[in-house]
Structure 1
Amino acid sequence: MPTDIAVTGLGLITPAGLTPDENWATLCAGRSTAAPDPVLKGLPVDFSCQITGFDPEAEFGRLTRRLDDFIHFALAAARRAVRDAALDPDTWRAERVGVVLGVGGTSLSTYESAFQHLSTGHPDRVSPLTVPRSNPNMAAGEIAIDLGARGPNFTVSTACASGATAIGVARDLLRSGTCDVVLAGGAESARSRMTAACFARMRALSRRRDQPGLASRPFDTARDGFVLGEGAAVLVLEPLAAARSRSAPVHALLRGYGASADAHHPISPHPEGRGVTQAVTTALQDAGCRPSDIGHINAHGTSTPTNDALEAAALTRIFGDQAPPVTAPKGVIGHSLGAAGAIEAAYTVLALRHARIPPVANFESQDGDHKLDIVSADPRPLTAGTGISCSFGFGGQNAVLLFEAA
């Protein structure tokens, strides 16, 4: 069975841009995309990182009405990824093409509208499209319908690790010989009033309403919470031998995957980083790598006080005083929840392709006993051709991906 898995296509729809090149330029500029959000007006936290310039009507035409925002993003990213991989859905073996998407929840805006009709005594005004627009599985389902992918098709949900988990599961489908090609990634839009209100009540969001562009600041001493985001990333994965046989572009190799559960608390990570350590160590072992082989770390880095401190401590224990340089894209694009792991996996691939590590937006200084080598201000040359992408979620669910330059 194939062991070398290639990334042959990338599709990205994020607040940083609508193409990999646009995303890369925004990341390297180290500039936050956070801004006041009209959808959240009047709430305690009224800003977010929003996708701009994306026109669903132009992309999908009449299909737009059937799709919720997170599905818009997923389907657009999938189309772009397939095109980037030089695949033709009219000629591929459709029954051997799988789709695995990670979705932490859904875009709750559709349900908000339905609940409002119910609460005002108008159930007849609830749209019959409410369920197919909002079910998490429909991101993968709509991609299959659009592209004619008839292989295994499902959505995984491991909270903010969902997108990374989906890529790991897709890798396993390829290694087992179940699929020839898998479209894998994640999608979510956290820009709903319900989502914002819930996270604000949990005191998980930054309250910098007067300076939203400075709000998301992973690992920085002055961090006070994350910023809501949205987006999608889809990676085309296939065995390296098959990719080479059709002269496909190979962006990177997916060499390792590690997953674990903290088995500790519904929200708080394990205080000793037990699950994080297990997931990173498993990914290293899976790839046959030592900690010293890793060229950079794409950290989960949410910009929350406790989580960043625990992640820094866990990474320090694994990699020691010579830990590789660390970046954390949520300073630029905010936190897209279930999509974050897939977007950041794509960013890790881009870092390897460009041999550069983007800076962490708004980073100035670190607190605590565990100091990481944070890339700040300007991109840094990447001197080793490997990188790991870390994703952790509620329920203590952890997923780590290890990529190698092609």
Structure 2
Amino acid sequence: MNIFVQGIGVVTPLGPTRLETWAAIGRGERAPRKLFSNEIAGRKYFSCPVPGDFVSDAARQPRLRRSGTISLLGAAAGFDALVDAGLKPDSKSDNRIAVVFAICSGGIKYTRRFYHEIVAQGANSASPLLFPETVYNAPASHLAALLGIDGQSYTLVGDSSVSLSAIHFGVELLTMHHELDRCLVVGTEEADWLLADAFASWRMATNQNRFEVYGRASGTIFGEGAAAVLLGRTGTLAVSYSSPGLPFWSFRKCAIAARELVGRSNSERAPDLIVGSANSTFVDEVECTVFSDAYPTVPVYAPKPAIGEALGASGLLQVAFAGLALRYQELPGTLDAGAKLSSINRQTRSFKGSEALVTCVGFNHQVNALKLRAL
């Protein structure tokens, strides 16, 4: 059975929908950086936050008025995907649509903030608004409630590759459950100082306001945002390959796992473009090795220097950009591209192609890949 992407939704620091974000990326814009710090630790890092007015429409929904940013981002991206598919977001879905969320560290952040208020201000001062968001399934629950879904709603927790696993899970749901018409897959992430500080202790986050990819690895900048794809059984953009992911047990074996996964996705010909997950960490070296060996002439686009590392949302953002590139036949230029990968695309340009490969190398020892084909 063929499964198709019927709609694409995006919320990033560059725009509140797929249209504004894609236009900004095509112009070579970089998401504004914001410095955030911890008064006790004294360490500072940059992040790429989403402006509050980008989720203002979602915040006006009665069911979301007390929701955190991470849930608002997910709802906004989900609504954008439904609109892109020509559907009206409402509470009359008749339970024929499933919701699958991909998330990385959302619940942990709200738990940290909740207990920080208890320690800093006393138990009576801790905001009850934070407590519901400490549950990983909160964003999925909010969106399911808005759409009137009380059946098929799931949340997958993982690293930056979890979004691709969520799409694979959505494909399986539609394949096995014929009572479902569609599946809305959403990835969402909210930036937090604790996250950056933890990754900095592993030399995977930088305190500079930009980072190079496929060059000198300096550590990444964390961003926030959300992306969504609406899957169905008809359409013009097919999911030609998906995978639950493949684990690796050491950095040394990461390239082996990535090469095996890309090999599994091989079709009769090479893809016309690759959207990679380079973020100025060990990920870049792995993708350099695999791309140079398997597809030395295929152009590669890496979006993270423009919008930051959005973890739970990043894989779906890559899929969204791959789908938009095939739709508009335009390939964005990679900002701050290093010299180690000769096939990196450095300037926005038009191209002709029908197949895109998306790869994700996660921090938590998981790699994944997905292919889209425009019919």
- Identify whether the pair has TM-score above 0.5, normalized to the shorter chain: yes
Structure 1 pair 225–94 and aligned structure 2 pair: CA distance change class (3 A): same
> How far did residue 357 of structure 1 move?
1.3
The residue aligned with 1:54 is 53
Q: Following superposition of structure 1 onto structure 2, how do residues 186-335 of structure 1 map, counting pairs within 5 Å?
A: 186-189=187-190, 191-208=191-208, 212=209, 215-219=210-214, 221-240=215-234, 250=236, 252-265=237-250, 269-271=251-253, 273-284=255-266, 289-290=267-268, 292-304=269-281, 306-319=282-295, 321-322=296-297, 324-335=298-309
> How far did residue 176 of structure 1 move?
2.1
d(CA) in 2 for partners of 1:275, 1:43: 39
**Helix, strand or coil: the match of 1:18?**
coil
The residue aligned with 1:247 is none
**Helix, strand or coil: the match of 1:363?**
coil
Alignment check: 8 A CA contact 1:108 1:192 kept: no
Alignment check: 8 A CA contact 1:56 1:64 kept: no
> How far did residue 163 of structure 1 move?
1.5
CA RMSD, 1 decimal: 2.4
- For residues 242-274 of structure 1, the C-alpha deviation after alignment (integer angstroms, 9 at most, x for no partner) is x5xxxxxx5x22111134333314xxx344612
The residue aligned with 1:75 is 75
d(CA) in 2 for partners of 1:181, 1:43: 48
Greater alpha carbon shift after TM alignment, 60-69 vs 142-151: 60-69
Q: Which runs of 5+ in 2 are unaligned?
A: none
d(CA) in 1 for partners of 2:90, 2:12: 28
d(CA) in 1 for partners of 2:30, 2:54: 22
Alignment check: 8 A CA contact 1:57 1:64 kept: no
The residue aligned with 1:373 is 343
**Helix, strand or coil: the match of 1:112?**
helix
Greater alpha carbon shift after TM alignment, 106-115 vs 349-358: 106-115
d(CA) in 2 for partners of 1:155, 1:400: 19
- For residues 321-359 of structure 1, the C-alpha deviation after alignment (integer angstroms, 9 at most, x for no partner) is 44x110100010010011100111100000001112111
Alignment check: 8 A CA contact 1:163 1:187 kept: no
1:184 to 2:195 alignment? no
Q: Which runs of 5+ in 1 are unaligned?
A: 244-249
Q: Following superposition of structure 1 onto structure 2, how do residues 355-374 of structure 1 map, counting pairs within 5 Å?
A: 355-366=329-340, 371-374=341-344
d(CA) in 2 for partners of 1:225, 1:169: 31
Alignment check: 8 A CA contact 1:327 1:375 kept: yes
Amino acid at match of 1:33: A
Alignment check: 8 A CA contact 1:188 1:337 kept: yes
**Helix, strand or coil: the match of 2:364?**
coil
Alignment check: 8 A CA contact 2:200 2:219 kept: no
Superposed structure 1 runs of 4+ greater than 6 Å apart: 39-42
Amino acid at match of 2:182: V
Alignment: residue pair count: 372
Structure 1 pair 234–39 and aligned structure 2 pair: CA distance change class (3 A): farther
**Helix, strand or coil: the match of 1:234?**
strand
**Helix, strand or coil: the match of 1:46?**
strand
> How far did residue 5 of structure 1 move?
1.6
d(CA) in 2 for partners of 1:90, 1:65: 17
The residue aligned with 1:246 is none
**Helix, strand or coil: the match of 2:10?**
strand
Amino acid at match of 1:358: P
